[in-house]
Structure 1
Amino acid sequence: MNFVTIRKNKVKLSSIIIARDEEQNISRCIESQLNIIDDILVLVDSRTKDNTYQIVTSYPDVRSEIVEWKGFGPTKNYAISKTKYEWVLWIDADEELSKELANDLLSFKNSTPEFNSYFIPRKSYFLGKWIKHCGWYPDYVLRLFNKNFSYISENPVHEKLIVKGESGYLQHPLIHYTYPDITHYLNKLNNYTSLAAEEIIKNNKKVTLIDILLRPAFIFIKMYILKLGFLDGLHGLILSLYSSFYVFTKYCKVWEIKKSGRNLKEE
Structure 2
Amino acid sequence: MSSRKSLSVVMIAKNEAELLPDCLRSVAWAAEIIMLDSGSQDDSIAIAESMGAKVFTHTDWQGFGKQRQLAQKHASHDYILMIDADERVTPELRQSIEQVLTAPGNGIVYSCARRNLFLGRFMRHSGWYPDRVNRLYANYRYCYNDDLVHESLNIDGANVVALSGDLLHLTCRDFFAFQRKQLRYAEEWANQRHQAGKRCGYLSILTHTFGAFCKTWLLRAGFLDGKQGLLLAVVNAQYTFNKYAALWALGRNYSEK
Q: 3-state DSSP class of the match of 2:212?
A: helix
Alignment deviations for residues 4-37 of structure 1 (CA, whole Å, 9 cap, x no partner): xx64x211011111111111111111100112x1
Alignment deviations for residues 167-199 of structure 1 (CA, whole Å, 9 cap, x no partner): 211111111011112101111011111001101
Alpha carbons 1:115, 1:168 under 8 Å: kept:
no
Instruction: Tell me how far apart the structure 2 counterparts of residues 246 and 94 of structure 1 sit (CA, whole Å).
Output: 20
Partner of 1:184: 177
Alignment deviations for residues 34-66 of structure 1 (CA, whole Å, 9 cap, x no partner): 12x1111011111x222111211111x311112
Question: Which of 73, 76, 82 in structure 2 is aligned with 1:84?
Answer: 76
What amino acid sits opposite 2:71 in the alignment?
A
Instruction: Tell me how far apart the structure 1 counterparts of residues 242 and 110 of structure 2 sit (CA, whole Å).
Output: 33
Instruction: Tell me how far apart the structure 2 counterparts of residues 64 and 94 of structure 1 sit (CA, whole Å).
Output: 17
* C-alpha RMSD of matched pairs (Å): 1.5
Are 1:107 and 2:99 an aligned pair? yes
Instruction: Tell me how far apart the structure 1 counterparts of residues 101 and 152 of structure 2 sit (CA, whole Å).
Output: 24
Q: 3-state DSSP class of the match of 2:165?
A: coil
What amino acid sits opposite 1:83 in the alignment?
A
CA apart distance, 1:149: 2.3
Alignment map for 1:238-253 (pairs within 5 Å):
238-253=231-246
Alignment deviations for residues 112-144 of structure 1 (CA, whole Å, 9 cap, x no partner): 324431111111111121110001111110001
Alpha carbons 2:116, 2:122 under 8 Å: kept:
yes
Partner of 1:31: 25
What amino acid sits opposite 1:11 in the alignment?
K
- Point out where structure 1 has 5 or more consecutive residues left out of the alignment: 1-5
Alpha carbons 2:123, 2:225 under 8 Å: kept:
yes
Alpha carbons 1:219, 1:240 under 8 Å: kept:
yes
Alpha carbons 1:116, 1:149 under 8 Å: kept:
no
Partner of 1:63: 54
Partner of 1:134: 126
Alignment map for 1:2-81 (pairs within 5 Å):
7=2, 9-35=3-29, 37-46=30-39, 48-59=40-51, 61-68=52-59, 69-81=61-73
What amino acid sits opposite 2:151 in the alignment?
E
Partner of 1:3: none
Partner of 2:166: 173
Instruction: Tell me how far apart the structure 2 counterparts of residues 242 and 138 of structure 1 sit (CA, whole Å).
Output: 19
Alignment map for 1:115-126 (pairs within 5 Å):
115-126=107-118
Question: Which of 192, 198, 201 in structure 1 is aligned with 2:191?
Answer: 198
The size of the alignment, in residue pairs, is 255
Instruction: Tell me how far apart the structure 2 counterparts of residues 23 and 238 of structure 1 sit (CA, whole Å).
Output: 28
Q: Which runs of 4+ in 1 moved over 3 A?
A: 261-264
Alignment deviations for residues 52-110 of structure 1 (CA, whole Å, 9 cap, x no partner): 11211111x31111221232111110111110113101101100101100111122221
Q: 3-state DSSP class of the match of 1:106?
A: helix
Are 1:208 and 2:215 an aligned pair? no
CA apart distance, 1:226: 1.2
Q: 3-state DSSP class of the match of 1:173?
A: strand
What amino acid sits opposite 1:153 in the alignment?
N
Instruction: Tell me how far apart the structure 2 counterparts of residues 115 and 99 of structure 1 sit (CA, whole Å).
Output: 25
Q: 3-state DSSP class of the match of 2:37?
A: strand
- Point out where structure 2 has 5 or more consecutive residues left out of the alignment: none
